[in-house]
Protein backbone atom coordinates (compact mmCIF):
# COMPACT_ATOMS: atom_id res chain seq x y z
CA UNK A 1 0.00 0.00 0.00
CA UNK A 2 1.29 3.44 -0.91
CA UNK A 3 2.59 5.62 1.89
CA UNK A 4 0.38 8.38 3.23
CA UNK A 5 1.16 11.86 4.50
CA UNK A 6 0.05 12.24 8.10
CA UNK A 7 -1.21 15.71 9.05
CA UNK A 8 -1.19 15.95 12.85
CA UNK A 9 -2.68 19.09 14.45
CA UNK A 10 -1.13 19.60 17.90
CA UNK A 11 -2.92 22.90 18.54
CA UNK A 12 -5.06 25.58 16.95
CA UNK A 13 -8.24 23.52 16.49
CA UNK A 14 -11.33 24.22 18.60
CA UNK A 15 -9.36 27.02 20.23
CA UNK A 16 -7.77 30.38 19.44
CA UNK A 17 -4.00 30.19 19.76
CA UNK A 18 -1.47 27.42 20.45
CA UNK A 19 -1.09 26.81 16.71
CA UNK A 20 1.06 23.84 15.74
CA UNK A 21 0.77 21.25 12.96
CA UNK A 22 3.09 18.33 12.23
CA UNK A 23 3.50 16.71 8.80
CA UNK A 24 4.88 13.17 8.73
CA UNK A 25 5.84 11.14 5.67
CA UNK A 26 8.00 8.05 5.92
CA UNK A 27 11.00 8.85 8.07
CA UNK A 28 10.58 12.65 7.95
CA UNK A 29 8.58 15.06 10.09
CA UNK A 30 8.28 18.82 9.69
CA UNK A 31 6.31 21.17 11.92
CA UNK A 32 4.48 24.38 11.04
CA UNK A 33 4.36 26.98 13.86
CA UNK A 34 4.80 26.60 17.61
CA UNK A 35 2.47 29.00 19.36
CA UNK A 36 1.07 29.70 22.81
CA UNK A 37 -2.41 30.35 24.12
CA UNK A 38 -3.17 32.49 27.13
CA UNK A 39 -4.71 30.98 30.28
CA UNK A 40 -8.43 31.19 30.93
CA UNK A 41 -10.04 32.15 34.23
CA UNK A 42 -9.88 28.55 35.50
CA UNK A 43 -6.08 28.34 35.16
CA UNK A 44 -5.11 30.03 38.40
CA UNK A 45 -1.55 31.36 38.40
CA UNK A 46 -0.69 29.89 34.98
CA UNK A 47 1.34 32.16 32.69
CA UNK A 48 1.06 30.44 29.30
CA UNK A 49 -0.42 27.38 27.62
CA UNK A 50 1.67 25.49 25.06
CA UNK A 51 1.02 22.38 22.93
CA UNK A 52 1.82 18.92 24.25
CA UNK A 53 4.71 17.81 22.01
CA UNK A 54 5.30 14.38 23.56
CA UNK A 55 4.74 12.79 20.12
CA UNK A 56 7.46 14.98 18.60
CA UNK A 57 9.83 14.26 21.49
CA UNK A 58 9.28 10.53 21.03
CA UNK A 59 10.17 10.95 17.33
CA UNK A 60 12.72 13.77 17.73
CA UNK A 61 15.32 12.08 15.51
CA UNK A 62 12.85 12.30 12.61
CA UNK A 63 11.88 15.97 13.15
CA UNK A 64 13.73 17.77 10.36
CA UNK A 65 12.61 21.39 10.78
CA UNK A 66 10.06 23.84 12.14
CA UNK A 67 8.58 26.33 9.65
CA UNK A 68 7.03 29.55 10.98
CA UNK A 69 4.28 31.45 9.13
CA UNK A 70 4.68 34.76 11.02
CA UNK A 71 5.85 36.34 14.25
CA UNK A 72 2.73 36.48 16.44
CA UNK A 73 2.85 34.84 19.86
CA UNK A 74 0.15 32.31 18.99
CA UNK A 75 2.53 31.01 16.31
CA UNK A 76 6.02 31.47 17.85
CA UNK A 77 5.51 31.80 21.61
CA UNK A 78 6.17 28.13 22.40
CA UNK A 79 9.50 28.00 20.55
CA UNK A 80 11.74 28.49 23.64
CA UNK A 81 9.90 25.65 25.41
CA UNK A 82 9.68 23.34 22.41
CA UNK A 83 13.37 23.74 21.59
CA UNK A 84 14.36 22.47 25.03
CA UNK A 85 13.43 19.02 23.73
CA UNK A 86 13.90 19.21 19.95
CA UNK A 87 17.08 19.61 17.92
CA UNK A 88 16.23 20.94 14.48
CA UNK A 89 16.53 24.22 12.53
CA UNK A 90 13.76 26.82 12.47
CA UNK A 91 12.87 28.34 9.08
CA UNK A 92 11.31 31.83 9.10
CA UNK A 93 11.26 35.16 7.30
CA UNK A 94 13.62 37.95 8.36
CA UNK A 95 11.27 39.89 10.65
CA UNK A 96 9.95 36.70 12.21
CA UNK A 97 13.54 35.58 12.82
CA UNK A 98 14.30 38.89 14.53
CA UNK A 99 11.34 38.44 16.89
CA UNK A 100 12.20 34.79 17.55
CA UNK A 101 15.75 35.84 18.41
CA UNK A 102 14.39 38.14 21.13
CA UNK A 103 12.52 35.21 22.69
CA UNK A 104 15.57 32.94 22.48
CA UNK A 105 17.82 35.57 24.07
CA UNK A 106 15.34 35.94 26.95
CA UNK A 107 15.60 32.18 27.54
CA UNK A 108 19.40 32.10 26.98
CA UNK A 109 18.95 29.72 24.04
CA UNK A 110 20.16 31.73 21.04
CA UNK A 111 23.37 29.72 20.64
CA UNK A 112 21.46 26.41 20.75
CA UNK A 113 18.92 27.07 17.98
CA UNK A 114 19.70 27.40 14.28
CA UNK A 115 17.55 30.02 12.52
CA UNK A 116 17.39 29.78 8.72
CA UNK A 117 15.95 32.88 7.02
CA UNK A 118 13.98 32.81 3.80
CA UNK A 119 11.91 35.21 1.70
CA UNK A 120 8.42 34.81 0.26
CA UNK A 121 8.75 32.90 -2.99
CA UNK A 122 11.65 30.76 -1.77
CA UNK A 123 11.43 26.97 -2.07
CA UNK A 124 13.11 24.83 0.59
CA UNK A 125 13.98 21.13 0.48
CA UNK A 126 13.86 19.37 3.86
CA UNK A 127 13.93 15.59 3.91
CA UNK A 128 11.26 14.36 1.50
CA UNK A 129 9.38 17.66 1.76
CA UNK A 130 9.46 20.65 -0.57
CA UNK A 131 8.15 23.77 1.18
CA UNK A 132 7.29 26.91 -0.79
CA UNK A 133 6.67 30.21 1.01
CA UNK A 134 3.82 32.32 -0.42
CA UNK A 135 3.45 36.01 0.49
CA UNK A 136 0.24 36.90 2.36
CA UNK A 137 -1.10 40.02 4.07
CA UNK A 138 -1.63 40.01 7.82
CA UNK A 139 -1.39 42.38 10.79
CA UNK A 140 2.36 41.76 10.92
CA UNK A 141 4.91 42.08 8.15
CA UNK A 142 6.65 39.11 6.52
CA UNK A 143 3.73 36.69 6.93
CA UNK A 144 3.63 33.68 4.60
CA UNK A 145 1.54 30.68 3.68
CA UNK A 146 3.16 27.35 2.82
CA UNK A 147 2.69 24.96 -0.07
CA UNK A 148 4.02 21.63 1.21
CA UNK A 149 4.78 18.94 -1.34
CA UNK A 150 5.77 15.32 -0.69
CA UNK A 151 5.27 12.04 -2.61
CA UNK A 152 1.72 11.77 -1.26
CA UNK A 153 0.58 15.12 -2.69
CA UNK A 154 0.35 18.90 -2.18
CA UNK A 155 -0.97 20.63 0.95
CA UNK A 156 -1.50 24.39 1.23
CA UNK A 157 -1.56 25.87 4.74
CA UNK A 158 -2.53 29.53 4.61
CA UNK A 159 -1.36 30.62 8.07
CA UNK A 160 -3.11 33.80 9.22
CA UNK A 161 -3.99 36.00 6.27
CA UNK A 162 -6.23 38.63 4.72
CA UNK A 163 -6.45 40.13 1.25
CA UNK A 164 -5.25 43.74 1.46
CA UNK A 165 -5.35 45.50 -1.90
CA UNK A 166 -3.52 48.56 -0.53
CA UNK A 167 -1.00 47.19 2.01
CA UNK A 168 1.46 49.46 3.81
CA UNK A 169 4.47 47.43 2.73
CA UNK A 170 5.43 44.29 0.86
CA UNK A 171 2.72 44.21 -1.77
CA UNK A 172 -0.59 42.46 -2.01
CA UNK A 173 -1.09 38.78 -1.15
CA UNK A 174 0.20 36.54 -3.97
CA UNK A 175 -3.19 35.43 -5.29
CA UNK A 176 -1.56 34.50 -8.58
CA UNK A 177 0.49 31.78 -6.90
CA UNK A 178 -2.54 30.40 -5.08
CA UNK A 179 -4.29 30.22 -8.44
CA UNK A 180 -1.33 28.49 -10.11
CA UNK A 181 -1.24 25.90 -7.35
CA UNK A 182 -4.97 25.36 -7.83
CA UNK A 183 -4.43 24.74 -11.55
CA UNK A 184 -1.66 22.21 -10.80
CA UNK A 185 -3.76 20.50 -8.13
CA UNK A 186 -4.06 21.05 -4.38
CA UNK A 187 -4.87 17.84 -2.52
CA UNK A 188 -5.60 19.48 0.85
CA UNK A 189 -6.16 23.04 2.04
CA UNK A 190 -5.78 24.16 5.67
CA UNK A 191 -7.19 27.67 5.99
CA UNK A 192 -7.52 30.34 8.71
CA UNK A 193 -11.06 30.37 10.16
CA UNK A 194 -10.85 33.23 12.69
CA UNK A 195 -13.08 35.74 10.89
CA UNK A 196 -15.31 33.33 8.98
CA UNK A 197 -18.39 34.73 10.76
CA UNK A 198 -17.77 38.22 9.35
CA UNK A 199 -19.37 39.13 6.04
CA UNK A 200 -17.52 40.82 3.20
CA UNK A 201 -13.86 41.75 3.26
CA UNK A 202 -11.46 42.86 6.00
CA UNK A 203 -10.65 46.56 5.69
CA UNK A 204 -7.23 47.65 4.49
CA UNK A 205 -4.62 48.69 7.05
CA UNK A 206 -4.48 52.08 5.30
CA UNK A 207 -7.95 52.85 6.70
CA UNK A 208 -6.39 53.02 10.16
CA UNK A 209 -3.79 55.48 8.89
CA UNK A 210 -6.54 57.82 7.69
CA UNK A 211 -8.36 57.56 11.02
CA UNK A 212 -5.18 58.26 12.96
CA UNK A 213 -4.37 61.31 10.85
CA UNK A 214 -7.87 62.65 11.44
CA UNK A 215 -7.38 62.29 15.20
CA UNK A 216 -3.93 63.94 15.10
CA UNK A 217 -5.17 66.83 12.94
CA UNK A 218 -5.88 69.81 15.20
CA UNK A 219 -5.40 67.90 18.46
CA UNK A 220 -3.87 70.11 21.17
CA UNK A 221 -3.32 67.26 23.65
CA UNK A 222 -0.54 64.77 24.17
CA UNK A 223 -1.40 61.66 22.15
CA UNK A 224 -0.76 58.19 23.57
CA UNK A 225 -1.39 55.30 21.17
CA UNK A 226 -1.46 51.73 22.41
CA UNK A 227 -1.29 48.84 19.94
CA UNK A 228 0.17 45.37 19.50
CA UNK A 229 3.97 45.62 19.49
CA UNK A 230 4.20 43.16 16.59
CA UNK A 231 2.02 45.26 14.26
CA UNK A 232 4.88 47.12 12.61
CA UNK A 233 2.62 48.52 9.87
CA UNK A 234 0.43 50.14 12.54
CA UNK A 235 3.50 51.52 14.32
CA UNK A 236 4.73 52.93 11.01
CA UNK A 237 1.42 54.70 10.43
CA UNK A 238 1.45 56.16 13.95
CA UNK A 239 4.98 57.48 13.35
CA UNK A 240 3.91 58.88 9.96
CA UNK A 241 0.96 60.73 11.51
CA UNK A 242 3.12 62.11 14.31
CA UNK A 243 5.76 63.32 11.86
CA UNK A 244 3.15 64.91 9.58
CA UNK A 245 1.75 66.95 12.46
CA UNK A 246 5.10 67.90 13.97
CA UNK A 247 5.17 65.60 16.97
CA UNK A 248 8.11 63.82 18.55
CA UNK A 249 7.65 60.09 19.20
CA UNK A 250 8.63 58.22 22.35
CA UNK A 251 8.13 54.52 23.02
CA UNK A 252 7.29 52.75 26.28
CA UNK A 253 6.98 49.03 27.04
CA UNK A 254 9.76 46.45 26.72
CA UNK A 255 8.17 44.47 23.87
CA UNK A 256 7.46 47.67 21.93
CA UNK A 257 11.06 48.82 22.33
CA UNK A 258 12.39 45.41 21.24
CA UNK A 259 10.17 45.18 18.15
CA UNK A 260 10.93 48.78 17.14
CA UNK A 261 14.68 48.09 17.33
CA UNK A 262 14.40 44.87 15.32
CA UNK A 263 11.95 46.20 12.70
CA UNK A 264 13.79 49.49 12.12
CA UNK A 265 17.13 47.65 11.97
CA UNK A 266 15.76 45.32 9.27
CA UNK A 267 14.13 48.15 7.33
CA UNK A 268 10.49 47.31 8.09
CA UNK A 269 9.95 50.63 9.90
CA UNK A 270 11.23 53.95 8.58
CA UNK A 271 11.65 56.59 11.30
CA UNK A 272 12.16 60.13 9.98
CA UNK A 273 15.28 61.89 11.23
CA UNK A 274 15.01 63.51 14.67
CA UNK A 275 11.48 62.16 15.26
CA UNK A 276 12.19 59.46 17.85
CA UNK A 277 13.20 60.71 21.32
CA UNK A 278 14.10 59.02 24.58
CA UNK A 279 11.18 58.61 26.97
CA UNK A 280 13.14 60.39 29.70
CA UNK A 281 13.16 63.58 27.59
CA UNK A 282 9.41 63.96 27.08
CA UNK A 283 9.15 66.73 29.70
CA UNK A 284 11.29 68.92 27.45
CA UNK A 285 8.40 69.17 24.95
CA UNK A 286 4.89 70.63 25.24
CA UNK A 287 2.06 68.01 25.28
CA UNK A 288 0.78 68.99 21.83
CA UNK A 289 4.20 68.14 20.35
CA UNK A 290 4.34 64.61 21.72
CA UNK A 291 3.15 61.17 20.67
CA UNK A 292 3.83 58.16 22.87
CA UNK A 293 3.52 54.62 21.49
CA UNK A 294 2.77 52.13 24.23
CA UNK A 295 2.09 48.48 24.96
CA UNK A 296 -0.95 47.44 27.00
CA UNK A 297 -3.85 47.58 24.54
CA UNK A 298 -5.24 44.36 26.08
CA UNK A 299 -5.27 45.75 29.62
CA UNK A 300 -2.44 43.45 30.71
CA UNK A 301 -1.44 44.11 34.33
CA UNK A 302 2.01 45.73 34.52
CA UNK A 303 1.99 46.74 30.86
CA UNK A 304 3.00 50.34 30.14
CA UNK A 305 -0.53 51.68 29.56
CA UNK A 306 -1.88 49.84 32.60
CA UNK A 307 0.81 51.44 34.77
CA UNK A 308 -0.05 54.86 33.32
CA UNK A 309 -3.76 54.39 34.04
CA UNK A 310 -3.18 53.24 37.62
CA UNK A 311 -0.48 55.84 38.44
CA UNK A 312 2.39 53.38 38.44
CA UNK A 313 4.44 54.66 35.49
CA UNK A 314 7.64 56.51 36.34
CA UNK A 315 7.68 58.97 33.45
CA UNK A 316 4.04 59.36 32.41
CA UNK A 317 1.03 60.55 34.40
CA UNK A 318 -2.37 60.53 32.70
CA UNK A 319 -4.44 63.74 32.91
CA UNK A 320 -7.08 65.71 31.01
CA UNK A 321 -4.32 66.94 28.68
CA UNK A 322 -4.05 63.45 27.14
CA UNK A 323 -5.80 61.68 24.28
CA UNK A 324 -5.38 57.91 24.58
CA UNK A 325 -6.01 55.81 21.45
CA UNK A 326 -6.42 52.04 21.80
CA UNK A 327 -5.56 50.91 18.27
CA UNK A 328 -6.46 47.25 18.67
CA UNK A 329 -9.35 44.87 19.15
CA UNK A 330 -10.01 42.74 22.22
CA UNK A 331 -8.58 39.23 22.19
CA UNK A 332 -11.43 36.96 23.37
CA UNK A 333 -11.31 36.75 27.15
CA UNK A 334 -9.62 40.14 27.62
CA UNK A 335 -12.74 42.31 27.42
CA UNK A 336 -13.12 42.77 31.17
CA UNK A 337 -9.48 43.85 31.61
CA UNK A 338 -9.69 46.26 28.67
CA UNK A 339 -12.85 48.01 29.90
CA UNK A 340 -11.40 48.28 33.40
CA UNK A 341 -8.42 50.04 31.82
CA UNK A 342 -10.63 52.31 29.71
CA UNK A 343 -12.73 53.25 32.73
CA UNK A 344 -9.62 54.18 34.70
CA UNK A 345 -8.29 56.30 31.83
CA UNK A 346 -11.61 58.17 31.69
CA UNK A 347 -11.46 58.57 35.47
CA UNK A 348 -8.06 60.23 35.12
CA UNK A 349 -9.64 62.77 32.76
CA UNK A 350 -8.18 61.51 29.49
CA UNK A 351 -10.03 61.53 26.18
CA UNK A 352 -10.15 57.86 25.18
CA UNK A 353 -10.65 56.60 21.62
CA UNK A 354 -11.14 52.87 21.01
CA UNK A 355 -12.50 50.54 18.36
CA UNK A 356 -16.18 51.00 19.23
CA UNK A 357 -15.87 54.78 18.81
CA UNK A 358 -13.63 55.10 15.75
CA UNK A 359 -11.99 53.07 12.97
CA UNK A 360 -8.66 52.83 14.82
CA UNK A 361 -8.22 49.11 14.19
CA UNK A 362 -8.75 46.63 11.37
CA UNK A 363 -8.48 42.88 11.57
CA UNK A 364 -5.59 40.92 10.13
CA UNK A 365 -7.80 37.92 9.37
CA UNK A 366 -9.78 37.17 6.21
CA UNK A 367 -13.54 37.61 6.23
CA UNK A 368 -16.06 35.46 4.39
CA UNK A 369 -15.50 36.70 0.83
CA UNK A 370 -11.71 36.45 1.15
CA UNK A 371 -11.97 32.89 2.43
CA UNK A 372 -14.20 32.05 -0.53
CA UNK A 373 -11.59 33.50 -2.87
CA UNK A 374 -8.79 31.30 -1.52
CA UNK A 375 -11.06 28.25 -1.73
CA UNK A 376 -12.00 29.12 -5.31
CA UNK A 377 -8.40 29.76 -6.37
CA UNK A 378 -6.86 26.66 -4.84
CA UNK A 379 -9.74 24.31 -5.72
CA UNK A 380 -8.72 21.78 -3.05
CA UNK A 381 -9.79 18.14 -3.29
CA UNK A 382 -9.93 18.05 0.52
CA UNK A 383 -10.36 20.77 3.13
CA UNK A 384 -9.60 21.06 6.84
CA UNK A 385 -10.49 24.38 8.50
CA UNK A 386 -7.99 25.44 11.19
CA UNK A 387 -7.28 28.32 13.56
CA UNK A 388 -10.62 28.74 15.29
CA UNK A 389 -13.12 27.50 17.82
CA UNK A 390 -15.58 24.81 16.76
CA UNK A 391 -18.21 27.27 15.53
CA UNK A 392 -15.58 28.89 13.28
CA UNK A 393 -14.47 25.55 11.88
CA UNK A 394 -18.06 24.45 11.28
CA UNK A 395 -18.99 27.70 9.51
CA UNK A 396 -15.85 27.49 7.38
CA UNK A 397 -16.72 23.90 6.42
CA UNK A 398 -20.14 25.10 5.19
CA UNK A 399 -18.41 27.84 3.20
CA UNK A 400 -16.09 25.29 1.56
CA UNK A 401 -19.06 23.18 0.51
CA UNK A 402 -20.62 26.28 -1.08
CA UNK A 403 -17.36 26.75 -3.01
CA UNK A 404 -17.54 23.24 -4.49
CA UNK A 405 -15.64 21.03 -2.05
CA UNK A 406 -17.40 17.67 -1.64
CA UNK A 407 -18.90 17.37 1.85
CA UNK A 408 -17.24 13.94 2.26
CA UNK A 409 -13.85 15.58 1.72
CA UNK A 410 -14.27 18.23 4.46
CA UNK A 411 -12.73 17.27 7.79
CA UNK A 412 -13.69 18.92 11.07
CA UNK A 413 -10.72 17.71 13.05
CA UNK A 414 -9.44 18.06 16.61
CA UNK A 415 -5.97 18.25 18.10
CA UNK A 416 -4.15 14.94 18.22
CA UNK A 417 -6.32 13.28 15.58
CA UNK A 418 -4.37 12.22 12.49
CA UNK A 419 -5.59 13.07 8.98
CA UNK A 420 -3.95 10.93 6.31
CA UNK A 421 -3.51 12.04 2.68
CA UNK A 422 -2.92 9.31 0.09
CA UNK A 423 -1.26 9.62 -3.35
CA UNK A 424 -4.64 9.16 -5.08
CA UNK A 425 -5.81 12.42 -3.46
CA UNK A 426 -8.08 10.79 -0.89
CA UNK A 427 -8.03 11.65 2.82
CA UNK A 428 -9.27 9.93 5.94
CA UNK A 429 -9.08 10.40 9.70
CA UNK A 430 -7.02 7.58 11.14
CA UNK A 431 -5.88 7.29 14.76
CA UNK A 432 -4.62 9.72 17.34
CA UNK A 433 -1.36 10.83 18.95
CA UNK A 434 -0.80 12.19 22.46
CA UNK A 435 -1.86 15.83 22.56
CA UNK A 436 -3.34 18.51 24.76
CA UNK A 437 -2.16 21.43 26.88
CA UNK A 438 1.01 21.97 28.86
CA UNK A 439 0.77 24.76 31.40
CA UNK A 440 3.71 27.10 31.94
CA UNK A 441 3.97 28.58 35.44
CA UNK A 442 7.17 30.54 35.98
CA UNK A 443 10.05 28.28 34.97
CA UNK A 444 7.95 25.14 35.32
CA UNK A 445 6.55 23.49 32.20
CA UNK A 446 3.95 20.78 32.63
CA UNK A 447 4.30 20.50 36.41
CA UNK A 448 0.96 22.23 36.94
CA UNK A 449 -1.69 19.66 36.05
CA UNK A 450 -5.38 19.11 36.69
CA UNK A 451 -4.85 18.16 40.34
CA UNK A 452 -2.87 21.33 41.07
CA UNK A 453 -5.43 23.47 39.23
CA UNK A 454 -8.24 21.83 41.19
CA UNK A 455 -6.45 22.65 44.44
CA UNK A 456 -5.84 26.24 43.32
CA UNK A 457 -9.49 26.59 42.39
CA UNK A 458 -10.56 25.23 45.75
CA UNK A 459 -8.20 27.60 47.55
CA UNK A 460 -9.57 30.54 45.55
CA UNK A 461 -13.18 29.65 46.38
CA UNK A 462 -13.22 28.43 49.99
CA UNK A 463 -9.72 28.89 51.38
CA UNK A 464 -7.52 26.67 53.50
CA UNK A 465 -7.62 25.23 57.01
CA UNK A 466 -4.37 23.76 58.36
CA UNK A 467 -4.53 21.46 61.40
CA UNK A 468 -1.23 20.72 63.19
CA UNK A 469 -0.92 17.95 65.82
CA UNK A 470 1.95 16.11 67.51
CA UNK A 471 1.28 12.44 68.39
CA UNK A 472 3.32 10.11 70.57
CA UNK A 473 4.92 7.18 68.74
CA UNK A 474 4.82 5.25 72.00
CA UNK A 475 1.08 5.10 72.66
CA UNK A 476 -0.61 7.26 69.96
CA UNK A 477 -1.71 9.92 72.43
CA UNK A 478 -1.97 13.61 71.58
CA UNK A 479 1.25 15.33 72.73
CA UNK A 480 0.68 18.88 71.37
CA UNK A 481 -2.01 20.76 69.53
CA UNK A 482 -4.21 20.86 67.72
CA UNK A 483 -3.16 24.21 66.28
CA UNK A 484 -5.53 25.65 63.66
CA UNK A 485 -4.44 28.05 60.90
CA UNK A 486 -7.00 29.62 58.54
CA UNK A 487 -6.17 31.28 55.21
CA UNK A 488 -8.96 32.66 53.07
CA UNK A 489 -11.68 30.82 55.01
CA UNK A 490 -12.53 32.76 58.18
CA UNK A 491 -10.94 35.58 60.14
CA UNK A 492 -9.77 33.68 63.18
CA UNK A 493 -10.47 36.36 65.80
CA UNK A 494 -14.12 36.41 64.77
CA UNK A 495 -14.60 32.64 64.59
CA UNK A 496 -13.30 31.36 67.91
CA UNK A 497 -16.40 29.28 68.56
CA UNK A 498 -16.05 27.45 65.24
CA UNK A 499 -12.32 26.93 65.73
CA UNK A 500 -12.93 25.52 69.22
CA UNK A 501 -15.31 22.98 67.68
CA UNK A 502 -12.66 22.04 65.11
CA UNK A 503 -10.08 21.54 67.87
CA UNK A 504 -12.49 19.35 69.85
CA UNK A 505 -13.25 17.29 66.72
CA UNK A 506 -9.53 16.75 66.10
CA UNK A 507 -8.93 15.72 69.73
CA UNK A 508 -11.77 13.18 69.49
CA UNK A 509 -10.48 11.86 66.14
CA UNK A 510 -6.94 11.35 67.47
CA UNK A 511 -8.42 9.66 70.55
CA UNK A 512 -10.44 7.29 68.37
CA UNK A 513 -7.33 6.41 66.35
CA UNK A 514 -5.48 5.72 69.61
CA UNK A 515 -8.23 3.36 70.83
CA UNK A 516 -8.19 1.47 67.50
CA UNK A 517 -4.35 1.25 67.59
CA UNK A 518 -4.00 3.25 64.37
CA UNK A 519 -0.38 4.48 64.27
CA UNK A 520 -0.02 5.21 60.53
CA UNK A 521 0.35 9.03 60.07
CA UNK A 522 -1.29 8.91 56.61
CA UNK A 523 -4.40 7.18 57.98
CA UNK A 524 -4.57 9.62 60.91
CA UNK A 525 -4.31 12.56 58.44
CA UNK A 526 -7.15 11.12 56.36
CA UNK A 527 -9.40 10.68 59.40
CA UNK A 528 -8.70 14.22 60.64
CA UNK A 529 -9.38 15.65 57.17
CA UNK A 530 -12.68 13.78 56.77
CA UNK A 531 -14.02 14.76 60.23
CA UNK A 532 -12.99 18.42 59.93
CA UNK A 533 -14.48 18.73 56.42
CA UNK A 534 -17.76 17.28 57.68
CA UNK A 535 -18.10 19.71 60.60
CA UNK A 536 -17.06 22.70 58.43
CA UNK A 537 -19.66 21.92 55.79
CA UNK A 538 -22.33 21.29 58.44
CA UNK A 539 -21.60 24.64 60.13
CA UNK A 540 -20.78 26.89 57.14
CA UNK A 541 -21.94 25.10 53.94
CA UNK A 542 -18.43 25.69 52.63
CA UNK A 543 -15.72 23.19 51.68
CA UNK A 544 -12.26 24.67 52.27
CA UNK A 545 -9.14 22.65 51.64
CA UNK A 546 -8.18 20.89 54.88
CA UNK A 547 -4.46 20.25 55.28
CA UNK A 548 -3.60 18.08 58.31
CA UNK A 549 0.02 18.08 59.52
CA UNK A 550 0.78 15.09 61.79
CA UNK A 551 4.16 14.97 63.56
CA UNK A 552 5.09 11.72 65.27
CA UNK A 553 7.27 12.42 68.30
Rounded-to-10 torsion of CA 218, 282, 323, 258: 110
Do the Cβ atoms of 51 and 81 come closer than 8 Å? no
What is the Cα–Cα distance from 492 to 465, expressed in whole angstroms? 11
Pairing of strands 90-92, 115-117: parallel
The set of residues, in sequence order, having a beta carbon less than 8 Å from that of 126 and lying 6+ positions away, is 28, 30, 64, 65, 91
Q: Where are the beta strands (DSSP E) in 12-83?
A: 20-25, 28-32, 48-51, 63-67
Do the Cβ atoms of 264 and 196 come closer than 8 Å? no
H or E element in which residue 116 lies: strand 115-117
Do the Cβ atoms of 469 and 548 come closer than 8 Å? yes
H or E element in which residue 277 lies: none
Between vectors from CA 119 to CA 114 and to CA 123, what angle results, nearest 5°?
85
Left if phi > 0, otherwise alpha if psi is -120 to 50, otherwise beta: which for 176? alpha
Query: What's the alpha-carbon Rg for the chain, to the nearest Å?
Result: 28
What is the Cα–Cα distance from 457 to 455, expressed in whole angstroms? 5
Do the Cβ atoms of 251 and 276 come closer than 8 Å? yes
DSSP character at residue 211: H
Per DSSP, the three-state class of 104 is helix
Q: What is the 3-state secondary structure (H, E, C) of 432-459?
A: ECCCCEEEEECCEECCCCHHHHHHHHHH
Task: List helix spans (H) across 83-190.
Answer: 94-106, 175-184
Rounded-to-5 percentages of helix, strand, coil across the chain: 35, 25, 40
Name the β-bridge partners of 134: 145
- Which of the residues are catalytic? 192, 365
Task: List helix spans (H) across 245-325.
Answer: 254-266, 304-309
H or E element in which residue 356 lies: none
Do the Cβ atoms of 438 and 51 come closer than 8 Å? yes
Name the β-bridge partners of 465: 486, 546
What is the Cα–Cα distance from 476 to 478, expressed in whole angstroms? 7
Buried b (16+ CB within 10 A) or exposed e, 495-525: beebbebbbebbeebbeebbeeeebeeeebb
What is the Cα–Cα distance from 190 to 208, expressed in whole angstroms? 29
What is the Cα–Cα distance from 326 to 305, expressed in whole angstroms? 10
Amino acid sequence: MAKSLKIIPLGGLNEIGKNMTAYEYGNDIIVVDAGVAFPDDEMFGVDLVIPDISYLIKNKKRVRAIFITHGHEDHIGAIPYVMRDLDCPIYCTRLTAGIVEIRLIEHQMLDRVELIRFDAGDVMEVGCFTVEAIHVNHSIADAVAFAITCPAGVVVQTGDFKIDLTPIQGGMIDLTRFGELGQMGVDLLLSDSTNVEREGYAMSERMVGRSLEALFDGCDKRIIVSTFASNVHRIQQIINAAYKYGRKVAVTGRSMENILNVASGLGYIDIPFDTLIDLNKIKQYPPNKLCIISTGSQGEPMSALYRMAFSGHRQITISDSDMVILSSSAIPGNEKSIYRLINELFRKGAEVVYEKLDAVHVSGHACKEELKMILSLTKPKNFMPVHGEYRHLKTHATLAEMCGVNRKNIFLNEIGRVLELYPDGSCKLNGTVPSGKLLVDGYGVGDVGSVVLRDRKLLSQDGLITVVVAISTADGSLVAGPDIVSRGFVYMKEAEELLDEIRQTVIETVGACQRMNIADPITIKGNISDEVKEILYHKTKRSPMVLPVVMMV
